[in-house]
Amino acid sequence: MRFSDAFLRQVRDRVSIAAYAGKKLSWNARKTRAAAGDYWACCPFHQEKSASFHVLDAKGIFNCFGCGEKGDVFTLAMKLEGLSFPEAVERVAEYAGVELPKDAQEDRGESDRRKLLMTLMQRAAKLYREGLAAREGRAARDYLKGRGFDADLCDHFGVGYAPDGYTWLIDKLKIEGFALPDLVAVGLAREGEDGRRAIDAFRDRVTFEIGDASGKVIAFGGRALAKDAKAKYINSPETPLYSKSRILYRLKQARELLSKTKANGLVVCEGYLDVVAFERAGIAAVAPCGTALTEEQLQLLWRSGGEPILCFDGDAAGRRAADRALDLAIPHLGPGRTVRIAHAPSGEDPDDIFRRAGPEALKPLIDAAAPASEALFEREKNRRPLTTPEARAAFKTALKDAANRIADPDTKQLYFRELLGRADAATRTERAPFTPNPTSPGGVRRASPPAPASAELKAAIAAPARAGAENFLRAAVDFPAVIAPYADWLDRLHIADPDLAAIRAGLAALFETPEAPQSIDRQALALHLTRLGHERAAARVSRWKHDEKPPGARPRPTQGQGREQEARPEEWLALASLHVVLPAIREELAELEKLAADGDDEAFARFQALRREARSIEARAREAKLDGVQDNDAGDLVA
């Protein structure tokens, strides 16, 4: 079967050759730069030890510098899978989700019609340019001059003008021999309603040429000059040449500029004039054509190389667009697949910034773009005040739900760790201020506001942390499955040392991941802390010794030499009680002792009960041979 050039081009444009080749090859980690669309592997067509097989994803080609094999995705399919050319086209088309033409004659007919429609669009573009230069284009030229456009700039960016006549374009194209049905088919004209005549689709509008991947004009965008126009911007409808969801404005030119500037990715903005502003500033940029960003367009951006920067206007609509784009990208995040988010100042867009402050003002806007993880975290954090347990739970749930949508397992796990680690830190600092409870009818104060820090308290904070608290955290890391029922006790553990506080927060975040508790160990915790910037805490974890008899464990004989440690669940209650419950009991005992000494019978009864509980906790800790047991009775009151 013979395939037309148009069909083959359509299939090539829809397929990432790197993704297709990656099903059969293993990329060389040292030489491959996935973010730039530059892939290397050992050649599948000859024996070699060093990677000389090169794939350029943006261009859709491969080349082996060892054996000389080269070609496109069809050639690759033929050689990798032993297919004929028609079979390779069918295989790749199926992979791309492109329907095959029914027969060669139909395909040739489609190809001939496509050539006719392409010729029609090129002629329309030329007429719109002439319309801008003509007498009726004066108002359009004045408008463009106010936006910083001169004649050369208009010519460079394919800017024209569609005059206000109802059939200005139709009449000119009919004279040249083009048929009205073809004008309607490509969106240059609209059929009249109720038997009325057809009219031009673009009238009294500045026009912007929209090109395909090769730069050929396939559609137009139009900006109204009349202030009372129903729509400020309109775009060509879906046509045999143009699919809005798969086209980005000035993609070809942006790819060329990106290859020259060696920037880290294309900028995606909201409007045609924003793209022009970025390009004039030397920054490669594209834009969707009147629609929200689509999945097909996102794949185009990644195939173009680097990390796309999604730049949105600084108004409410721009923030909604950023949220939609971020949600679109989340399932696809992974190695070589990420985005960054940038926002213009409130009330401005990139074109406003360019005209107000010049081209140099756009670079800081792009440099300040936030990684996807940070943008996601800040979005969810700013949606609600984190002052109640319910709000904090909703915050964490939203982050978990977002991370769960990521398909790549390694990226998903890292997002869980980073987002929940940051969430834990944020919720600790944003809780509601302390409010004392009222005095109970019996006169016993259940809670009281904290007293100002005394000299003793300041000295205690400055002193090294209690070894018991660190032992508790270390045991929690070494035996996470056993401590899982006590995970919420971590938050109540008294810790003054900032490094231990960071370790506790990191451990709590790891318990929130789907892989917990199996994924928790010292190495995972140290890596998590390092990523969050807590290098000292990570180093402290790495320095933990492996005791012969760790807390909450007992030796277990093994078949070989030496002994492994086996968790003893019966010791965990003693361990948790010693370091979480007992400190709280001692604080209340000290308070009750004063009330009981003044003759408060209820306080005296509670004092005696709590003292018995404290002694029981200490006895269990001694029996388990735990560190940190102290004889610290609160007074000598007797019944």
**Residue range 18-39: mean pLDDT, rounded:** 85
pLDDT for 374 beyond 50: yes
With a pLDDT cut of 70, the percent of the chain lying above it is 81
Structurally, how many domains does the chain consist of? 5
* pLDDT at site 636: 46
- Say how many CA atoms lie within 13 Å of 633 toward its Cβ: 11
345 and 322, same structural domain? yes
> CA-based diameter of the chain, in Å?
114
**Residue range 506-523: mean pLDDT, rounded:** 78
* pLDDT at site 201: 95
193 and 65, same structural domain? no
pLDDT for 327 beyond 60: yes
537 and 581, same structural domain? no
- Which of 47 and 224 is assigned the larger pLDDT? 224
Q: For residue 70, what is the DSSP state?
A: E
528 and 610, same structural domain? no
Output the domain CATH number for residue 18: 3.90.580.10
Q: Which residues of 67-78 are buried (b: 16+ CB within 10 A; e: fewer)?
A: eebeebbbbbbb
159 and 26, same structural domain? no
Choose the final residue of a domain: 223, 242, 261.
Answer: 242
* pLDDT at site 563: 42
pLDDT for 395 beyond 80: yes
* pLDDT at site 50: 86
Give all strands of the β-sheet with 159-162 in edge-to-edge order.
159-162, 205-211, 217-224, 233-235
**Residue 469 host element (H or E):** helix 467-478
418 and 535, same structural domain? yes
222 and 169, same structural domain? yes
- Is 23 contained in some domain? yes
Residue whose C-alpha is closest to residue 167's, from 195, 190, 140: 190
- Which of 275 and 574 is assigned the larger pLDDT? 275
Choose the final residue of a domain: 71, 96, 121.
Answer: 96
Cβ atoms of 260 and 302 within 8 Å: the answer is no
Q: Rg of the Cα trace of the chain? A: 34
Q: Which of 130-144, 202-216, 237-251, 476-490 has the lowest mean pLDDT?
A: 476-490
324 and 279, same structural domain? yes
Quick one: tokens of 149? 């456009």
Mean pLDDT score across all residues of the chain: 82
Angle, helices 409-429/372-381, rounded to nearest 10 degrees: 40
Choose the final residue of a domain: 363, 381, 399.
Answer: 381
109 and 91, same structural domain? no
- Is 495 contained in some domain? yes
Q: What is the 3-state secondary structure (H, E, C) of 589-638?
A: HHHHHHHHHCCCHHHHHHHHHHHHHHHHHHHHHHHCCCCCCCCCCCCCCC
- Which of 606 and 54 is assigned the larger pLDDT? 54
Q: How far is CA 138 from the centre of its chain?
A: 46
Residue whose C-alpha is closest to residue 416's, from 432, 397, 431, 435: 397
Cβ atoms of 99 and 7 within 8 Å: the answer is no
- Is 376 contained in some domain? yes
Output the domain CATH number for residue 360: 3.40.1360.10
DSSP per position, 353-410: HHHHH-GGGHHHHHHTPEEHHHHHHHHHHTTS---SHHHHHHHHHHHHHHHHT--SHH
Residue whose C-alpha is closest to residue 132's, from 161, 153, 155: 161
Residue 387 pLDDT grade (very low, low, confident, very high; cuts 50, 70, 90): confident
**Residue 161 host element (H or E):** strand 159-162
304 and 367, same structural domain? yes
Residue 116 pLDDT grade (very low, low, confident, very high; cuts 50, 70, 90): very high
pLDDT for 216 beyond 80: yes
- Is 452 contained in some domain? no
- Is 394 contained in some domain? no
**Residue range 301-323: mean pLDDT, rounded:** 88
- Is 231 contained in some domain? yes
- Is 400 contained in some domain? no
Cβ atoms of 207 and 161 within 8 Å: the answer is yes
State phi, psi for 205 to the nearest 5 degrees.
-135, 140
* pLDDT at site 199: 94
**Residue range 463-484: mean pLDDT, rounded:** 68
DSSP per position, 200-224: ES--SEEEEEEE-TTS-EEEEEEEE
Q: Which of 238-247, 424-433, 557-566 has the lowest mean pLDDT?
A: 557-566
223 and 190, same structural domain? yes
Quick one: tokens of 249? 């404005």
- Is 305 contained in some domain? yes
Highest average pLDDT, of 37-46, 312-321, 395-404, comes from: 395-404
Domain range spanning residue 187? Answer: 104-242
CA-to-CA distance for 486 and 234, rounded, in angstroms?
60
**Residue range 291-299: mean pLDDT, rounded:** 91
pTM, two decimals, is 0.62
196 and 119, same structural domain? yes
* pLDDT at site 581: 67
CB atoms within 10 A of CB 57: 25
pLDDT for 457 beyond 50: no
